[in-house]
Structure 1
Amino acid sequence: MAFDGLFTHAMTKELNDTLAGGRIMKIHQPYPNEVFLVVRNNRKNYPLLLSAHPMFARAQISQIKYKNPQTAPNFAMMLRKHLEGAQLLRIEQVENDRIMRFVISGRNELGDEDRTVLILEMMGRHSNLFLVDEASQKIIDLIKHVPADQNRVRTLMPGGTYVQPPKQDVLNPYQSLDGLANLILDYREQNELAKHIQSHFQGFARDSAHELAAVVQNDGDAMAHAQSWFDHFNQPNPTLVDTQKGLQYVPFPWQTVTGETTEFTTLSELLDAYYEGKSERDRVQQQAGVVLRVIHNELKKNKTKIKKQQAELAQADHADEYKVKGELLTTYMHQIERGMTEIELPNYYDDNKPMQIQLSNQLSPSQNAQRYFTRYNKLKASVKYLNEQIALAQKEVDYFENLQAQVDIASPKDIEEIRQELIQEGYLRVQSKKKQKAQVSQPEIFYASDGTQIEVGKNNLQNERLSMKTANKSDIWMHTKDIPGSHVIIHSSEPSEQTLTEGAQLAAYFSKARDSANVPVDYLPVRRLRKPNGSKPGFVIFEGQTTMTVTPSYTTVQKLRKKPEA
């Protein structure tokens, strides 16, 4: 479902139950539209994510790791000034809308109580996060500054008075279900009923309206079941559903959302699992701008180079024609007069069929013949060189396509390692003259159903260290066949068939073929891997491999992240 007013209702209750009364210990802004508040409550730290992202706006406790910029943005500095050490009193929802208020009590420079409110508006591209003085309703700062010429309805700049977004003429379903019974009687068709539920009640996205329409139409006591459905948001059973259209999250099992399900303890854990791919991809795109530009430019350059050299190679296929023309001119030299621009001579290599030969009127007959021999020799000599250059350029294309695939599966913290690799290989200039040794992070650890540990490298530096340094020679190495992807190490010399299949699932999932079926995966003992001298990071050669095919599954990968209970 969408993060609509109903889901906001459920999330507000969860966050309030978990965080109310806690203290804000740290504040970070790792991404332009997202802030993390580390709230300590009941002797535990909770990373509270407040996102004003235009597509992924939400509030949740997020355990997904992030990396802070070296210099904190101005908004983060302002939040630290007003909120660090302050107490989070309560979390409220504005009616049943997509607006959450985090009421905070701190102390100003004089030691007096200073009450502020963080207001998160989750409204698509208009999403925003405000820091507001509770008494005066003055906007102290906001994460997105919007000039007056872009929004004339209300002021969205520091110093202005905070005004809520324009209110719609709809009912809060948690205060009144008036009119629902009439809607059920008037609109028997589910789509029509869903449309009128959306226009009549506050906080409904399209999918929530369709679910409620299905609930009240499939049972005689419609109003009782509607009330029960709304109450279920206060006691959710967070569920991730792998449908035919992709992953969807619901606060509890829905009639209209079917597929393979995974249940979670909290809504925040559910959102972490759902957004791990979606929002992480966006965060990667934000941080990988320079890296992606280098990859794009190098791919374009080398593909153009290959195309040009293949055209030159095609010309070399006609080299024998220049040799024939040179020999014919030499044979019939007596027929050529200086100043001629062309001549037709019998080709004794082709049943004496006439061949038209172009001449330069500036050259003598023998010089014209020599010119054709020179072109012939040059083209023949270029064949070996061109084949070598095409092979080198193709290696570059393979390398950067592999990097491109790694960016697609990378987390934001992996991007820095890919950037360091490009610096080491000379594709990216380092700003500082002082050369820094790249700090390689650890591969991700998974567990097979029988408890066998499986490690997955997410970039070439991780792959290099994992396969060539840390893995035992008897461990099993896996990689998608002829497809860019991660190195996978099964830490066992004789893994079971199920463990091999699960390792292959990981290799297929963390590859360019993530969304494909029947992906071929090679595997063999680590001892058979070889790294050619001078080859790029993560590049290995091998022989004697076995190949199996698997279809990657998100649900399977999620299960393998958890260590099985003994």
Structure 2
Amino acid sequence: MKEAMTSVDIRYIVKELRELVGARVDKVYHEGNEIRIKFHKAGEGRKDLIIEAGKRIHLTTYIKEIPTPTSFAMLLRKHLGGAFLSGIEQHDFDRIVKLSFRDYTLVVELFGKGNLVLVGPDGLIIAALRYEEFRDRAIKPKVEYKFPPSRESPLEVSWERFRELVASDDSEIVRVLARKFSIGGLYAEEILLRAGIEKGRKARELTEDELRKIFETMKGLFSAPKRPSIVYKDGQMVDVVPIELKWYDGYERKYFETFSEALDEYFGKLTVEKAKAEKTRKLEEKRKALEISLERIREQMMAFEEEAKKNQELGDLIYANYSLVERLLEELRAAVKKLGWEELERRVEEGKKTGNKAAEVIKGIHPSENAVTVEIDGKAIKLYLNRSLGENAELYYERAKRAKAKLEGARKAYEETKIKIEELERLIEEEGKKVGVKKLERRKKKWFEKFRWFISSEGFLVIGGKDATTNEMVVKRHMEENDIYCHADVYGAPHVVIKDGRKAGERTIFEACQFAVSMSRAWGQGLYSADAYWVYPEQVSKKSPAGEYLPKGAFMVYGKRNWFHGIPLKLAVGVVKYEGDELVMCGPVDAVKAHTNRYVVIRPGDLKKSELVKRIKKILEGWGYKVPEEDLMAILPPGGGEIVEVVG
């Protein structure tokens, strides 16, 4: 089972993670070898990047609860908090990833024990997960960060250099590829499988054509299209890979849209299982001890049952052969009185040698116990000469009784132990549910959720920009000739578009204009009303008057504007059903009211936005809706507010 990402894995994941560029660091969490960076990406919301030193880096939905930040987490928050990710790249073809921020670089080492190193703008180390010294470099504060010596990259190596490195080596070709190009055994075997070369052949014995075939196959493999999957064998995960591998032909596979999703599913499940094991370790040890005890009790029960049965049968045997046993007791008593134990034993042994049937009945003589073991009906039974027939029988019945009593005690102990095991299993299951790792279940967001949006009371979709980038997208990418464009008479207000708006009534157009003023800076300024207008798409242009420049997100509006004056800044928040999903929506009160009978009415106020979010979240939870705070933060207008009314 894979425990750490390879250089090939890192090559593919870094390509995906470049979509994070431009995201802002919200929080940093640290526990053990793991760092989780909670990013916020404009238009997309929360993104959690998990980094486990020496093992992995990818986006995750498995969130570990870490109540108290460590000193390392606090240091990273101090330097990276609020910073924007400006770049992410793999160093050469090594298991090293560099996350670049404005003034800092976070170097992620995914080889060996691994490390995370924060490097300042001067190239000096500010802090690291662990401080170490090597022959050629040191990880210490105020020391220049140096990368470890690199090996040949299979992506950049030339044919001449490849031949030079491989052709003269006396090792097996699979080992040469894995060692000299840092690709690991799996990919070395995959290359040779695709090239049709036996992996055990010596590298120096390969022909020029065979070497060329391996070289071209290697280049092609690492340029293969991405097709992430988790590989299973007998229902158990064995690997997670970014591309299709012939090596795993015949294995069960589960495919994913992104490599991050595959890695998250793979390592996330391992993390949960590890956390569960740690959480329930002591309980599991108790259960194991009880299971051993249960098996021992079961064996005792079998022994007691056998003992009771045996003694009961021997007691019954005495009475079933009453005359024979009575005669044997009388004859044996007389023989002992006349001959003594030693002479009796000698005569019995001689009789057995001559085939004397009376002697053959005697199986053992026990002078110290004043007893003789005889065979009756094929069973050996010890008879005590100083006891009567009834006393001998009663002796066996008493033994059977004691064995039965012990058996009942053992059965009771067995049932009690089973109950204890069942109780422990229940506790283990409950503790497992309490494990400090939870999976954020995120539905796939609809295309319009990257913008501000609402569904009008007449059922029309209305979208608006959040910033310069999304404002540009709303107009240039999503506004079509059948739409309506709305804008507040406030500097920096969002561009708002009613999709298919030419079919909309005045009610929808008014709601869109109210949305435009409420989502503008007027809200943060505490205004209670503002003006807005609407026009047709052909009146909106990026073409500026001569000598003027329009910045990103700005447009010119030409021709007649249709005004609404004194529009109140008031919105509502509720959960609505749309296109098969339940979505939390913030829009004009009439619009929200048309789609749900439970909603919270808000207007500009002195309550901080973060506190307003918490209060709305609590109200929604009371109605049975679990809405993440970041989702509410994304849909509410900029600035503080207050709750005017709670309906429902």
1:49 is displaced (CA, Å) by 0.7
> Equivalent residues in 2 for 1:80-479 (5 A)?
80-105=77-102, 115-124=103-112, 126-135=113-122, 137-142=124-129, 144=130, 155=138, 159=141, 161=143, 163-164=145-146, 166-168=148-150, 170-179=151-160, 182=163, 186=167, 192-201=172-181, 203-215=182-194, 222=213, 226-232=218-224, 236-242=226-232, 247-259=238-250, 260-320=252-312, 323=315, 341-344=368-371, 350=376, 355-357=381-383, 374-394=398-418, 396-397=420-421, 413-415=433-435
Q: 1:469-500: CA deviations, max 9, x gaps?
A: xxxxxxxxxxxxxxxxxxxxxxxxxxxxxxxx
For residue 382 of structure 1, give the secondary structure of its aligned residue in structure 2: helix
Q: Say whether the 8 Å CA contact 2:64–2:436 is kept in structure 1.
A: no
Q: Which residue of 1 aligns with 2:566?
A: none
Determine the C-alpha separation between the residues in 1 that align with 2:174 and 2:10: 20
Given candidates 5, 9, 12, the residue that maps to 2:11 is 9
Q: Which residue of 2 aligns with 1:19?
A: 20
Q: 1:235-262: CA deviations, max 9, x gaps?
A: 5232344468964333222333323444
Q: Structure 1 length as normaliser, TM-score?
A: 0.55
Q: Aligned in 2, Cα 1:14/1:240: closer, same or farther, shift over 3 Å?
A: same
Q: Which residue of 2 aligns with 1:36?
A: 36
Q: Aligned in 2, Cα 1:285/1:366: closer, same or farther, shift over 3 Å?
A: same
Q: Structure 2 length as normaliser, TM-score?
A: 0.49
Q: Say whether the 8 Å CA contact 1:302–1:397 is kept in structure 2.
A: no
Q: 1:270-317: CA deviations, max 9, x gaps?
A: 212333444433333333323323332332333333333433333333
Q: Say whether the 8 Å CA contact 1:139–1:162 is kept in structure 2.
A: no
Q: Aligned in 2, Cα 1:89/1:387: closer, same or farther, shift over 3 Å?
A: same
Q: Say whether the 8 Å CA contact 2:372–2:384 is kept in structure 1.
A: no
Determine the C-alpha separation between the residues in 2 that align with 1:37 and 1:214: 39
Determine the C-alpha separation between the residues in 2 that align with 1:304 and 1:414: 33
Q: Which residue identity lines up with residue 282 of structure 2 in the other structure?
A: V
Does residue 1:75 correspond to 2:77, yes or no?
Answer: no
Determine the C-alpha separation between the residues in 2 that align with 1:359 and 1:166: 92
Q: Say whether the 8 Å CA contact 2:383–2:392 is kept in structure 1.
A: no
Determine the C-alpha separation between the residues in 2 that align with 1:99 and 1:182: 26
Q: 1:41-71: CA deviations, max 9, x gaps?
A: 1232111010126xxx11000123x331443
For residue 318 of structure 1, give the secondary structure of its aligned residue in structure 2: helix
Q: Which residue identity lines up with residue 141 of structure 1 in the other structure?
A: A
Q: Say whether the 8 Å CA contact 2:115–2:128 is kept in structure 1.
A: no
Q: Aligned in 2, Cα 1:199/1:19: closer, same or farther, shift over 3 Å?
A: same
Q: Say whether the 8 Å CA contact 1:322–1:376 is kept in structure 2.
A: no
1:137 is displaced (CA, Å) by 2.1
Determine the C-alpha separation between the residues in 2 that align with 1:73 and 1:101: 23
Q: Aligned in 2, Cα 1:372/1:175: closer, same or farther, shift over 3 Å?
A: closer
1:185 is displaced (CA, Å) by 9.7
Q: Aligned in 2, Cα 1:133/1:364: closer, same or farther, shift over 3 Å?
A: farther
Q: Say whether the 8 Å CA contact 2:194–2:217 is kept in structure 1.
A: yes
Q: Say whether the 8 Å CA contact 1:187–1:193 is kept in structure 2.
A: no
Determine the C-alpha separation between the residues in 2 that align with 1:288 and 1:279: 14
Q: 1:206-241: CA deviations, max 9, x gaps?
A: 222233344456999856665444334xx5232344
Q: Say whether the 8 Å CA contact 1:249–1:271 is kept in structure 2.
A: yes
Q: Aligned in 2, Cα 1:306/1:355: closer, same or farther, shift over 3 Å?
A: closer
Q: Aligned in 2, Cα 1:162/1:217: closer, same or farther, shift over 3 Å?
A: farther
Q: Which residue identity lines up with residue 137 of structure 1 in the other structure?
A: L
Q: Say whether the 8 Å CA contact 2:108–2:117 is kept in structure 1.
A: yes
Q: Say whether the 8 Å CA contact 1:19–1:41 is kept in structure 2.
A: yes
Determine the C-alpha separation between the residues in 1 that align with 2:64 and 2:180: 43
Determine the C-alpha separation between the residues in 1 that align with 2:61 and 2:249: 27
Gaps of 5+ in 2: 198-208, 338-366, 443-648
Q: Say whether the 8 Å CA contact 1:38–1:45 is kept in structure 2.
A: yes
Q: Aligned in 2, Cα 1:279/1:153: closer, same or farther, shift over 3 Å?
A: farther
Q: Which residue identity lines up with residue 106 of structure 2 in the other structure?
A: L
For residue 104 of structure 2, give the secondary structure of its aligned residue in structure 1: strand
Given candidates 60, 63, 83, the residue that maps to 2:61 is 63
Q: Aligned in 2, Cα 1:379/1:227: closer, same or farther, shift over 3 Å?
A: closer
Q: Say whether the 8 Å CA contact 1:140–1:159 is kept in structure 2.
A: yes
For residue 45 of structure 1, give the secondary structure of its aligned residue in structure 2: strand
Q: Aligned in 2, Cα 1:96/1:206: closer, same or farther, shift over 3 Å?
A: same
Determine the C-alpha separation between the residues in 2 that align with 1:291 and 1:101: 42
Determine the C-alpha separation between the residues in 1 that align with 2:40 and 2:414: 59
Q: Say whether the 8 Å CA contact 1:103–1:116 is kept in structure 2.
A: yes
1:40 is displaced (CA, Å) by 0.9
Report percent identity of matched pairs: 21
Determine the C-alpha separation between the residues in 2 that align with 1:213 and 1:134: 44
For residue 182 of structure 1, give the secondary structure of its aligned residue in structure 2: helix
Q: Say whether the 8 Å CA contact 1:346–1:353 is kept in structure 2.
A: no
1:104 is displaced (CA, Å) by 2.8
Q: Say whether the 8 Å CA contact 1:184–1:216 is kept in structure 2.
A: no
Determine the C-alpha separation between the residues in 2 that align with 1:153 and 1:369: 89
Determine the C-alpha separation between the residues in 2 that align with 1:102 and 1:5: 16
Determine the C-alpha separation between the residues in 1 that align with 2:48 and 2:11: 20
Determine the C-alpha separation between the residues in 1 that align with 2:316 and 2:368: 18
1:120 is displaced (CA, Å) by 1.6
Determine the C-alpha separation between the residues in 2 that align with 1:305 and 1:100: 57
Q: 1:147-201: CA deviations, max 9, x gaps?
A: x7xx777545x63736546425x32233332436637995999x94443333443
Gaps of 5+ in 1: 106-114, 418-440, 446-566
Q: Which residue identity lines up with residue 122 of structure 2 in the other structure?
A: A
Q: Aligned in 2, Cα 1:39/1:352: closer, same or farther, shift over 3 Å?
A: closer
Q: Aligned in 2, Cα 1:304/1:352: closer, same or farther, shift over 3 Å?
A: closer
For residue 231 of structure 1, give the secondary structure of its aligned residue in structure 2: coil
Q: Aligned in 2, Cα 1:48/1:32: closer, same or farther, shift over 3 Å?
A: same
